[in-house]
Structure 1
Amino acid sequence: MVWLKRGAIALVGVLVLAFVVLATWEPFAASAAPAAPTRTYTAEIIRDEWGVPHITGKTDADTAFGVAIAHAEDDFFTLQDVVAMARGRYGAVAGEDGAKVDYVYHLIDARGTAEREYPKLPADTRALFEAYAAGLNQYAEAHPGEVKLANLFPVSGLDVAAGFALRQPFFFGLDGVIGPLVAGEELRREHGPDIPGFPRPPLPGGEPAAEAAPKQARARVLPLGEDAEHLGSNAFAVAPKKGGGVTTLISNSHQPLRGGVAWYELVVESGEGWHFAGANFPGSPFPFLGHNEHLGWTNTVNTPDMIDVYQLELDETGTRYKLDGQWRDLESKWVTLPVKLGPVVLPVRKEVLRSAHGPVIRNAKGAFAIRYGGIGQLQQLDAYYRLNKAKTFAEWEGQLSRLAIPSTNFIYADAGGTIAYVYNAAIPNRPTSVKADWRSVLPGNRSDLIWDGAVAYETLPRIVNPASGWLYNSNNTPFTAAGAGSDLDPQAFAPIMGIELKQTNRSWRAYKLLSEASLLDRRALEAIKYDTGYERQGYVARLFDALAGLKAQGKLAEARDLLLAWDFNADGKGRADALALLIIRDFMAADYNNKPFPDVAEKLGAAADHLTTHFGRLDPPMGDLLRLRQGELDLPLDGGSDTLRASTTWDVAEDGRLSLKHGDSFIMWIEWAPGARVSSRSVQPFGAASTRPASPHYTDQMQLFVDHKLKPVHFWRDDLLANASSRRTVTNSGTKAR
């Protein structure tokens, strides 16, 4: 039996060796680290009483270096996730969900795009990214105990750029196309008439219009953009004539409260004229929205038809596709996806395909190629940087007109009183001379259907200084933006562009309240921004019509009657607010994503069961149900899914409470008053140090957020120094406190 014992020992040895290999292979297989930069950077980081960093450098690059240091001090945990995504290694951190991101990273060739396009960027833009990478490397080197994935650092500017290339298409729904294709599901075709021709969208108060955008399934599967099932942001601009002499811009983006697309507030300044207050996402050296001395802007997600899908005709080998009568080889590359499973990381091999159209996904129904607006482009890195430093509307719009930023609405205001709305989108320049149903899956064997580039900027919806004196967007059609007499005519825009016609409840409410106001001063705008009402329009009307006709008994009938007596206001004061909060979200999600209307009795029963199980009643105060939670702080919230005061999605805790995870996030209120320099106020849901429980700024803004209050933004240096809580200089070689 000696041989059996020896065999068992050998088997144990093999298993131990296999475990060691699986636990350690991934960092060694990662791409070689770039050479460390030789340039020395120096920045000053001053934090105000709320811990918000004001980063100053002699050059813009020095400031970008400081941005990375400051952000890492507050949230190095999330920054590492973003870096892992940018290097195709997120699966080694987040397991299967991370591996899905890594697959898309390879599928859309994010690294290849960065390698081709990053060297083409202007030298000063690249200098910004190299400096930001140096800041990340400096922090990682100084804090090795915080690094959660070996060989993740150092990173280069190209790595940071690859992260932009990965995220870029997801804000207009690419993941909602990739997901169904990978799963072999049908792409859900959105509501709307066939092209050509589509109806005018009604003004709020009429029946909701159908969608015109094509074939886009919006059930997103990746943590890269706004939660598409509960998409939301609000933006408002008011001209002096309507605002009592004050120009106002309100940024009210709805992002996840935590993670890779949660807002981080900062102020940047340099000796080269860069001075901007606002917020960015982890992995960016500059703010994406906010203001400088002269002007400001904010964004909301729009959903034009930016994506076309082609079904390829393959030969019997499945390795070639036909195009214009000729067989072409599918480009094929095998990649290894790391998938963390407990203490080990499994290597999963995956084939990535590409055709002349773009990325290719093969499933049981065939092979499908995807082409989308901004494919293979990376100029947005330069455009955002230039927008930060623009001084006039003409200069600012000149950057937008490049269509380097593939999508998102822009709402603008400036010190001179100009306000503007631009439906920014690099909509594919589809040929009108060919016959095709662009709203369906296209034949992949015709090269005349493979468009190149975007439509002209001049063809996009755009409003400057409307007669109404106000502009808004709440993820609705651009054809309701400025009020009766100032709105654009949808018939003036080509249907082939696929501009959405959808309204949201936030749009119904904003349009009504803005139109009714004789003066939009601070008090009036605060009432609109924090409005918690619902209009009985669209999916809300359909839901309550169904409730009115619902035959029920017992608890279900009691719940129905409670809702039918509701005042359509999620302010937390009504008996039915908690029940309405629970039931409305699913109907909103179905409407947003063009899914079948949910079963009203089923949803009502589930909501009633939840409340009686956890609260012992159908009518608990809504603030007992909906909570803002971080660390030891647990506060009640108001608002609902698709209200202007947005409490959109949540996690359900063991105690039955709903912990907000997506909704009102970073809010910024900017004003240019006569004879005064620009001033602004802001708030975050938690605090500046979003993943540092030991920091005094982990939860210090929560009560402000709950109470509908804002804190000052110390944009000007004299104001900042009067309110500074810390001040130090950071360089490549260390930190010096002052």
Structure 2
Amino acid sequence: MWRRALIGLVLLLVGAAAALAFWEPLTASASAPPASDYQPERVEIARDRFGVPHIFGKSDADVAYGVAYAHAEDDFETLQQVMAMTRGRAGALLGEEGARIDYVAALLDVRATSARDWPGLPADVRRLFDAYAAGLNHYAAKHPEEVALRGLFPVTGEDVVAGFILRSPFFFGLDSVLGDAVEAKPFAREGGPALADETKPVVRPLTPVGRDPDDNGSNAMAVAPARSTDGATRLVSNSHQPWTGSVAWYELVVHSDEGWDFAGATFPGAPYPFLGHNKYLGWTNTVNRPDLIDIYKLVLDDSGEAYRFDGEWRPLEKKRVWLKVKFGPFTLPVPRTVWRSVHGPVVKNDEGAFAIRYAGMDQADMVTQYYRLNKARDFAEWRAAMAGQGVPATNFIYADAKGNIGLFYNAMFPDRPQGYDWRGVLPGDQSAALWTETLPFGRVPALVNPRSGYVMNANNSPWVAAGPGDELDAAAFSPLLGVEEDMTNRAARLIDLFEASGQIDEARLKAIKYDTSYAKTGYAKAWIDRLLALDVKGDPALERAQALLRQWDWNLDGKGKGDALALMLLRPANRSHYQRRPAPDPMKTLKEVTVHLQKHFAGLDPRLGTVLRLRHGEGAARVDLPLDGGNDTIRASTLWDVEPDGRLKVRHGDSFIMFVTWDRDGRVRSESIQPFGAATTRPASPHYNDQAPLFVRHALKPVLFDPQALKASGARFYRP
């Protein structure tokens, strides 16, 4: 008996020792700090009256250091989450949801890519990223009580670059494809309809990394001098992003003595703005959805560890990874195996083994492209930076002081050979089906300086961008590009409004941006018709709902009857339309919405602003304000959470908004707004919610891009 007990104790101790050998808190180690190729004493941060940081430095690297420090002052919590993702430690910080991200990072071999590409990046780019990492390290060292994970700091420039590699492909649908592969679901694809049973749900477990699981969005507009009443060039940036988290916008302005002057917004974990303007030019982005992902079914041998390729058996690359997952007070290792073939990462499921190949795979060139775009001084330099093709996908809408405007359907299109169904699952045993190159930037659909005097995009097909007679010819582009054909209500409304507007002044452009109407066309019209055609006789509540819907004026401005009802009824239809799936059941939807409104609002026609809310914070820091717009209106309130009181708390939609104007003499000025404020995770800050009242009123604040105007405003200057 005692021998068995002793043996059991020994085995228990051996097991515990093995677990402790992998236990995250004991094995975590910090990166080596980056080299000191910047001078923090030359960094100065100014805060304007809304708390927006303006960072000054002698060099660009000095400024990047200040960007990191200022952002950490406002949102160190999210920055730590991003850094944990880049280092494979999201599970240790966020638990199971974070571990999924760590698994994907291992599957995509993110750290191998960053290790390979980091030494080859241009020296000025490496200096920028090292300086940014040093700024984070400086803040962490000064505020150790805020560090949430042992050994997370110091981080390096290479760690920051790894974050770009990890997050970039999730903006064009890799999250959906990986989710489908892991769950053995029919593959949902961008660039066209799904390939199999569209009634099955799509599993998207990776939302902390990239886009929202249900929707993308964004509006963008540019107006040329010939279409303006005053000869000005105008650009409207109207991105739709989550209002908090790792892909929430953070506003900033940067100035360096090396000629880097830029106002715009960035994501946590980036040393520069991703959109905005300098003195000479500006751009904004909207999500596009080309088919940039190909799926190959592999033929495996009996062992499951070799695949056939051109008649020969090749071993799958195999790596054992230990996901460090937080369980209550403990962080313990969970083993997983990741596989890779010549095609790319491999996922095994009950249907077989599938390799996934995607645009921009295994490269970090996007970090250079964004920096070069920030520093471009004219259209030629900007286009040269775009030609570097580091950013795998996203529309760029451009304008400049010279009066040029344009839409670029940017994507790293695979150079696919003819003869295969690229919308289907491809044979993984034929090298002929394996593309290895992408098409040059000159093959990207682009519309520059159309005669209409405007360009726009609202996550719709690039073939509709500037009005009748000024559109791109879809027939001029190969179907192998996989360009989407979708239209959104926002796009239809923008075209209608621009075509009806004649010459456009600043006030008219703002009215277009804040439009809250639905066009009586497309999926919205078809869906409303189906709801009104339902036989609801004998159910008084549904009869009243139909009568109210018939009176609705197709405008979610919060002024007419039936706005709240229409908002909630249209949301499921828009989700299905955007995901290219069958429309929901109209009777079920009508009943659910009717029950909800009666339960929480004692009737079917509460004011829209009573139902749709901007809510943020708790206690004295809380705001609770009415909103307008809907999930596919130009004034976008896209996604919401249903609160216990039945109100809809918006969490995604109009986020960072910027209006940029170059007057006829080329002088630039801009205005901007955020839903909350500059310090979204600091409730004690006066800038936690100070922009919210302006946001709900469609008001903007000035961007003090000119340093002299900033100083004259009474801004607070300090050094990190």
Q: TM-score, normalised by structure 2?
A: 0.95
Is 2:292 aligned against 1:293? no
1:270 partner letter: S
Distance 1:670 1:472 in 2: 15
Which of residues 631, 635, 638 in structure 2 aligns to 1:648?
A: 638
Is 2:709 aligned against 1:719? yes
Partner of 2:227: 242
Is this contact kept in 2: 1:114–1:378, CA < 8 A?
Answer: yes
2:68 partner letter: A
Matches within 5 A, 1:308-327: 308-327=294-313
Distance 2:373 2:34 in 1: 29
Distance 2:693 2:217 in 1: 23
Which of residues 431, 444, 456 in structure 2 aligns to 1:472?
A: 456
Partner of 2:658: 668
Is 2:478 aligned against 1:494? yes
Deviates most, 625-634 or 79-88: 625-634
Partner of 1:637: 627
Is this contact kept in 1: 2:29–2:152, CA < 8 A?
Answer: no
Relative to structure 1, the CA distance from residue 63 to residue 218 in structure 2 (aligned partners, 3 Å threshold; closer, same or farther) is farther
Which of residues 445, 453, 457 in structure 1 aligns to 2:429?
A: 445
Matches within 5 A, 1:7-406: 25-39=23-37, 40-42=39-41, 43-188=43-188, 220-222=204-206, 223-244=208-229, 245-406=231-392
- Cα deviation per residue 1:437-476 (whole Å; 9 max; x = unaligned)? 1110000000111111211222221111110000000000
DSSP-derived class of the 2:410 partner: coil
Distance 1:287 1:517 in 2: 32
Partner of 1:546: 530
Matches within 5 A, 1:503-582: 503-552=487-536, 553-582=539-568
Distance 2:201 2:423 in 1: 12
Partner of 1:199: none
Relative to structure 1, the CA distance from residue 596 to residue 211 in structure 2 (aligned partners, 3 Å threshold; closer, same or farther) is closer
Relative to structure 1, the CA distance from residue 521 to residue 31 in structure 2 (aligned partners, 3 Å threshold; closer, same or farther) is same
1:464 partner letter: V
DSSP-derived class of the 1:158 partner: helix
DSSP-derived class of the 2:214 partner: helix
DSSP-derived class of the 1:514 partner: helix
- Cα deviation per residue 1:661-706 (whole Å; 9 max; x = unaligned)? 0000000000011236210000010001111000000000000000
Is this contact kept in 2: 1:214–1:498, CA < 8 A?
Answer: no
2:393 partner letter: S
Relative to structure 1, the CA distance from residue 286 to residue 513 in structure 2 (aligned partners, 3 Å threshold; closer, same or farther) is same
- Cα deviation per residue 1:340-369 (whole Å; 9 max; x = unaligned)? 122122311010000000000000000000
Consecutive unaligned residues in structure 2, runs of 5 or more: none
1:256 partner letter: P
Distance 2:195 2:279 in 1: 39
Partner of 1:207: none
DSSP-derived class of the 2:393 partner: coil
Deviates most, 721-730 or 500-509: 721-730
2:401 partner letter: A
- Cα deviation per residue 1:295-322 (whole Å; 9 max; x = unaligned)? 0000000001100000000001100000
Which of residues 604, 609, 616 in structure 2 aligns to 1:618?
A: 604
Distance 1:616 1:639 in 2: 23
DSSP-derived class of the 1:423 partner: strand
Distance 2:414 2:339 in 1: 22
Distance 2:20 2:320 in 1: 20
Is this contact kept in 2: 1:19–1:344, CA < 8 A?
Answer: no
Distance 1:191 1:603 in 2: 28
Distance 1:31 1:328 in 2: 35
Is this contact kept in 2: 1:218–1:593, CA < 8 A?
Answer: no
Relative to structure 1, the CA distance from residue 312 to residue 126 in structure 2 (aligned partners, 3 Å threshold; closer, same or farther) is same
Relative to structure 1, the CA distance from residue 719 to residue 711 in structure 2 (aligned partners, 3 Å threshold; closer, same or farther) is same
Partner of 1:601: 587
Is this contact kept in 1: 2:251–2:265, CA < 8 A?
Answer: yes
Is this contact kept in 1: 2:549–2:562, CA < 8 A?
Answer: yes
DSSP-derived class of the 2:518 partner: coil
Is this contact kept in 2: 1:212–1:500, CA < 8 A?
Answer: no
Distance 1:536 1:362 in 2: 45
Deviates most, 56-65 or 338-347: 338-347
DSSP-derived class of the 2:606 partner: coil
**Alpha-carbon offset, residue 226 of structure 1:** 2.6
DSSP-derived class of the 1:296 partner: strand
Relative to structure 1, the CA distance from residue 260 to residue 150 in structure 2 (aligned partners, 3 Å threshold; closer, same or farther) is same
Is this contact kept in 2: 1:187–1:217, CA < 8 A?
Answer: no
- Cα deviation per residue 1:73-111 (whole Å; 9 max; x = unaligned)? 000000000000101111111111111111110111111
Distance 1:246 1:341 in 2: 57
Distance 1:531 1:619 in 2: 21
Distance 2:688 2:16 in 1: 42
**Alpha-carbon offset, residue 33 of structure 1:** 2.1
- Cα deviation per residue 1:628-662 (whole Å; 9 max; x = unaligned)? 01121110000001100000001111111111100
**Alpha-carbon offset, residue 212 of structure 1:** 11
DSSP-derived class of the 1:252 partner: strand
- Cα deviation per residue 1:114-148 (whole Å; 9 max; x = unaligned)? 01111111000000000000000000010000011
Is this contact kept in 1: 2:346–2:353, CA < 8 A?
Answer: yes
Distance 1:470 1:217 in 2: 39
1:41 partner letter: P
Is this contact kept in 2: 1:188–1:594, CA < 8 A?
Answer: no
1:277 partner letter: A
**Alpha-carbon offset, residue 219 of structure 1:** 5.9
What is the root-mean-square deviation in Å for CA atoms of aligned residues? Answer: 2.5
1:718 partner letter: Q
Distance 2:660 2:88 in 1: 38
Identity of aligned residues (%): 54
Is this contact kept in 1: 2:191–2:485, CA < 8 A?
Answer: no
Distance 2:16 2:623 in 1: 45
Distance 1:682 1:409 in 2: 21
Which of residues 662, 665, 681 in structure 2 aligns to 1:691?
A: 681
**Alpha-carbon offset, residue 407 of structure 1:** 0.6
Distance 1:79 1:399 in 2: 28
Relative to structure 1, the CA distance from residue 373 to residue 92 in structure 2 (aligned partners, 3 Å threshold; closer, same or farther) is same
Partner of 1:679: 669
Partner of 1:458: 442
Q: TM-score, normalised by structure 1?
A: 0.92
DSSP-derived class of the 1:536 partner: coil
**Alpha-carbon offset, residue 541 of structure 1:** 1.6
Is this contact kept in 1: 2:183–2:203, CA < 8 A?
Answer: no
2:214 partner letter: E
Distance 2:453 2:202 in 1: 34
Distance 1:625 1:503 in 2: 28
